[in-house]
Amino acid sequence: MLSSRALHWILVAAGVTLPACGLVTGSTERVVHPRFENGGMLASATALNRESSRLLEGLWDSTEGGTLLGSSLVVHSSPDYLSIFGNRDATYAVLEAGCLEDGQLVLEGYYRTAVDTSTGLVRLFVEPAEAAQSICSGPTPNAPFQMVGAFGTDNDTPDQKLTLERQRLLPAAPATMVIAHRGGCRSSDDCGASENSLEVLRMAQRLGADRVEVDVQVTSDGVPVLYHDASFGPLLTTGSYCKGAVSDFTWAHVTQLCSLLYGEPVPRLDDALRTVVEETELVGIWLDVKTPTGMGAALPLVRKWNQIAADRGRNLRIVIGLSTDELISAWLGLTQTDVECLVELGVDDLRRTGCRVWAPRWTLGPMASAVAEVTSEGRAVAFWTLDEKQFIDLFIKEAKPTGLLTNRPGLVLQRSYWATIQAEGDVPP
Amino acid sequence: MSRIVFAFVACGVLGYAAIATAKPPRRALEVSVQTGYGLVLGNNGDRSHELESRNGGASVAVGFAYRSPYLFVPWAETGWTALQWNRELPKAREFAGQAPSTSRLTTTYLLFGPSVEEGIFRFRAGMGFYHQQVTSSFAGHTITPSTWDMGYSLSYGVRAHDGPRYGWGLETYALLMSESQLAYLGIALRVWGNAWVDLR
Quick: pLDDT tens for B52-107. 999 999 999 999 999 888 889 999 999 999 999 999 999 999 999 999 999 999 99
**Residue A118: band (very low, low, confident or very high) from pLDDT cuts 50, 70, 90:** very high
In angstroms, the CA A45 to CA A108 distance is: 11
Q: How far is CA A104 from CA A128, A130, A134, A198, A366, in A?
A: 9, 9, 10, 34, 47
B19 burial type by CB count under 10 A (0-12 exposed, 13-18 middle, 19+ buried): exposed
Is the Cβ pair A265, B92 closer than 8 Å?
A: yes
Q: Is the pLDDT of residue A61 over 80?
A: yes
Which amino acid is located at A253 in the chain?
H
Cβ(A15)–Cβ(B126) below 8 Å = no
In angstroms, the CA A185 to CA A286 distance is: 14
Cβ(A63)–Cβ(A69) below 8 Å = no
Largest CA distance in chain A: 84
Cβ(A309)–Cβ(A277) below 8 Å = yes
**Closest C-alpha among A297, A373, A374, A366 to residue A342:** A374
**Residue B162: band (very low, low, confident or very high) from pLDDT cuts 50, 70, 90:** confident
**Residue A351: band (very low, low, confident or very high) from pLDDT cuts 50, 70, 90:** very high
pLDDT of A139:
76
Query: For B176, which of A5, A19, A253 is closest by C-beta distance?
Result: A19
Angle at A254 between CA A253 and CA A256, to 5 degrees: 60
Q: Is the pLDDT of residue B26 over 80?
A: no
Q: Average pLDDT, stretch B9-31?
A: 58
Specify which residues A320 forms β-bridges with: A287, A341
Distance from CA of B92 to the nearest CA of A (A): 6
CB interface of B with A, residues 85-144, below 8 Å = 86, 88, 90-92, 94-95, 98, 101, 103-105, 116, 118, 123, 125, 132, 134, 136, 138-139, 141, 143-144
Partner A contacted by B147 (CB < 8 A): yes
Q: Average pLDDT, stretch A72-91?
A: 94
pLDDT of B43:
65
- Provide, rounded to the nearest whole percent, the portion of chain B with pLDDT above 90: 70
- The shares of helix, strand and coil residues in chain B, as percent rounded to the nearest 5, are 10, 70, 20
Is the Cβ pair A12, B141 closer than 8 Å?
A: no
pLDDT of B145:
98
Chain B residue numbers with beta carbons less than 8 Å from the beta carbon of A263 are 46
In whole numbers, what is the pLDDT of chain B averaged over residues? 88
Give long-range contacts, CB 8 A cutoff, 24+ apart: A20-25: A22/B151, A22/B152, A22/B176, A22/B178, A22/B183, A23/B42, A23/B176, A23/B181, A23/B183, A25/B178
Q: Is the pLDDT of residue A200 over 90?
A: yes
In whole numbers, what is the pLDDT of chain A averaged over residues? 92
Q: Average pLDDT, stretch B136-147?
A: 98
- Provide, rounded to the nearest whole percent, the portion of chain A with pLDDT above 70: 93
pLDDT in tens, B36-67: 999 998 767 788 899 999 999 999 999 999 98
Which amino acid is located at A142 in the chain?
N
Q: Is the pLDDT of residue A165 over 60?
A: yes
Angle at A416 between CA A411 and CA A420, to 5 degrees: 150
Q: Average pLDDT, stretch A335-363?
A: 94
**Residue A346: band (very low, low, confident or very high) from pLDDT cuts 50, 70, 90:** very high
In angstroms, the CA A362 to CA A118 distance is: 28
Which runs of E-coded beta strand occur in B68-98?
72-88
Partner A contacted by B29 (CB < 8 A): no
Q: Beta strands A259-260 and A244-245: pairing type?
A: unpaired
**Residue A81: band (very low, low, confident or very high) from pLDDT cuts 50, 70, 90:** very high
Specify which residues B190 forms β-bridges with: B34, B169
pLDDT of A14:
53
The pTM assigned to this predicted structure is 0.89
Is the Cβ pair B101, A257 closer than 8 Å?
A: yes
Q: Average pLDDT, stretch A338-342?
A: 95
Q: Average pLDDT, stretch B115-137?
A: 95
Q: State phi, psi for A403 to the nearest 5 degrees.
A: -155, 160
Q: Is the pLDDT of residue A50 over 60?
A: yes
pLDDT of A298:
97
Q: Is the pLDDT of residue A147 over 90?
A: yes
DSSP string, A161-176: EEEEEEEEPPPSS-SS
Q: How far is CA A25 from CA A418, B177, B178, in A?
A: 39, 12, 8
pLDDT of B119:
86
Query: For A7, which of B42, B92, B116 is closest by C-beta distance?
Result: B116
pLDDT of A143:
83
pLDDT of A20:
46
Comparing alpha-carbon positions, the chain B residue that sits nearest to A238 is B45
pLDDT in tens, A280-324: 999 999 999 999 999 999 999 999 999 999 999 999 999 999 999
Q: Beta strands A211-218 and A177-180: pairing type?
A: parallel
pLDDT of A13:
52
pLDDT of B23:
44
- Provide, rounded to the nearest whole percent, the portion of chain B with pLDDT above 70: 86
Chain A residue numbers with beta carbons less than 8 Å from the beta carbon of B156 are 12, 15
Which runs of E-coded beta strand occur in A223-345?
224-226, 231-232, 237-238, 244-245, 259-260, 284-289, 317-322, 340-343
Partner A contacted by B84 (CB < 8 A): yes
Query: For B103, which of A12, A241, A252 is closest by C-beta distance?
Result: A241
CB interface of A with B, residues 204-263, below 8 Å = 220-221, 231-235, 238-245, 248-250, 252-253, 255-257, 259, 263
> Cis link prior to A128 (omega < 30° from 0)?
yes
> Can you list the alpha helix ranges (DSSP code H) found in A1-138?
4-25, 50-54, 66-69, 129-137
Q: Is the pLDDT of residue B31 over 50?
A: yes
In angstroms, the CA A216 to CA A278 distance is: 20
pLDDT in tens, A243-288: 999 999 999 999 999 999 999 999 999 999 999 999 999 999 999 9
Q: Beta strands A91-99 and A81-85: pairing type?
A: antiparallel
Chain B residue numbers with beta carbons less than 8 Å from the beta carbon of A5 are 118
**Residue A2: band (very low, low, confident or very high) from pLDDT cuts 50, 70, 90:** low
Element spanning A397, H or E: helix A389-398
